[in-house]
């Protein structure tokens, strides 16, 4: 179903509608109708087609260098990477990817170096939670529009730090209600309800743009599926992080199979124990994770969230790319 601009504004409330109308200062990227997903309009209005390569091994821009810096693209290519997850901005005062000139520079250098921009990241939600701050919905609309301009297929919405969706008790501790081997944390139902309400308003924009919204957080796969069910849209998916899910105590292979390929928009690769993936002492059971991803027919990007050892970015990233290709059977 395609929803037009008038219907979107009628069915969206408050800040999201204001963002689409451009009534918040500086939101020129939100002032127009939901973007057409054709190649002609997905180039930010400059008549150039973004380079969109087949899924391979990408990296988060905060691991590559300064966030929102297209001049780092050449270093990604030199490290054997073919994709970059680009941050929308560095903080609320530097939402840099709204700038059409910056989008055009990404497109130019992406084509030159054969690097795609498969995802837009909203890490600002960690310090400015979507559950608490209305302006976050504006950034989410910005991110959808930026994804269209750069040819990205999804927007990562982070829920860590201040944005954590788990319940805290009177001592500020998270409550693990599981008596078994794997974790099951109690959710903060007020925060979850607020996030669900906001996503219900924004997801028509994402659907119209052909951009998935990805939940990356500290909660279980089953709890993420419940949120997706409550929002009621196939355009809301899980951004699955193998390192995070292992570290928070979840059964990664089982979760991957339960969530399934259609409801995972992308996967982060990292390990909390070592920057060299697959090396001795790794916390993540990557062989089991790779088998689970193969079982569901996972066919999207694998994204490194590691910079390697200090001062050895190029050497370690090339090694991580080669390891990921072999382990996860990426051509």
**Largest CA-CA distance found in the chain, in angstroms, rounded:** 57
Fold observed for domain 5-327: TIM Barrel (3.20.20)
Q: Do 136 and 188 form a contact (C-beta atoms < 8 A)?
A: no
pLDDT tens per residue, range 162-179: 999 999 999 999 999 999
Statement: residue 22 has pLDDT above 60: no
Q: Do 208 and 1 form a contact (C-beta atoms < 8 A)?
A: no
Give the Cα separation of 7 and 327 in Å (integer): 46
pLDDT tens per residue, range 284-323: 999 999 999 999 999 999 999 999 999 999 999 999 999 9
Give the Cα separation of 86 and 112 in Å (integer): 17
For the segment 174-185, the average pLDDT, to the nearest whole number, is 97
For the segment 24-31, the average pLDDT, to the nearest whole number, is 29
Give the Cα separation of 110 and 53 in Å (integer): 10
Coil, strand, or helix at residue 158?
strand
For the chain, what are the domain ranges?
Answer: 5-327
158: tokens are 């982070």
The total of other beta-carbon atoms located within 10 Å of residue 285's CB is 14
Residue (of 107, 57, 113, 117) closest to 84 by Cα position: 117
Statement: residue 13 has pLDDT above 80: no
Residue ranges in 151-241 assigned as alpha helix (H):
189-209, 221-231
For the segment 56-68, the average pLDDT, to the nearest whole number, is 98
Give the Cα separation of 34 and 5 in Å (integer): 6
The total of other beta-carbon atoms located within 10 Å of residue 54's CB is 11
pLDDT tens per residue, range 133-160: 999 999 999 999 999 999 999 999 999 9
Q: Report the share of the chain in percent with pLDDT over 90.
A: 84
Give the Cα separation of 122 and 107 in Å (integer): 20
Statement: residue 34 has pLDDT above 70: no
Give the global pTM: 0.87
């Amino acid at each position: 179903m395609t929803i037009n601009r008038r219907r979107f504004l009628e069915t969206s409330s408050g800040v999201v509608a204001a963002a689409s109308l451009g009534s918040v200062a500086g939101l020129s990227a939100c002032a127009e109708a939901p973007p057409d997903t054709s190649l002609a309009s997905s180039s930010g209005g400059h008549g150039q087609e973004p380079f969109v390569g087949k899924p391979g091994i990408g990296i988060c821009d905060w691991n590559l260098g300064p966030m929102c810096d297209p001049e780092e693209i050449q270093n990604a290519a030199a490290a054997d990477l073919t994709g970059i997850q680009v941050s929308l901005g560095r903080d609320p005062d530097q939402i840099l990817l709204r700038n059409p000139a910056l989008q055009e520079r990404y497109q130019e250098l992406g084509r030159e170096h054969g690097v795609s921009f498969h995802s837009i990241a909203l890490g600002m939600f960690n310090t400015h939670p979507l559950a608490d701050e209305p302006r976050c919905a504006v950034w989410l609309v910005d991110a959808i529009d930026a994804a269209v301009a750069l040819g990205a297929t999804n927007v990562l919405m982070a829920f860590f730090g201040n944005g954590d969706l788990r319940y805290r008790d009177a001592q500020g501790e998270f409550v693990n209600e599981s008596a078994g081997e794997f974790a099951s944390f109690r959710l903060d139902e007020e925060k979850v309800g607020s996030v669900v309400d906001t996503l219900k308003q924004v997801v028509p924009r994402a659907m119209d743009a052909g951009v998935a919204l990805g939940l990356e957080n500290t909660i279980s796969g089953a709890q993420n599926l419940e949120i997706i069910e409550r929002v009621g849209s196939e355009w809301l998916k899980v951004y699955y992080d193998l390192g995070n899910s292992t570290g928070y105590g979840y059964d990664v292979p089982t979760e991957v199979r339960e969530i399934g390929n259609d409801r995972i928009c992308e996967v982060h690769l990292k390990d909390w124990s070592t920057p060299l993936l697959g090396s001795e002492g790794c916390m993540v059971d990557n062989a089991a994770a790779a088998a689970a991803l193969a079982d569901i027919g996972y066919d999207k990007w694998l994204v490194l969230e590691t910079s390697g050892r200090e001062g050895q970015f190029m050497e370690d990233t090339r090694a991580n790319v080669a390891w990921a290709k072999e382990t996860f059977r990426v051509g």
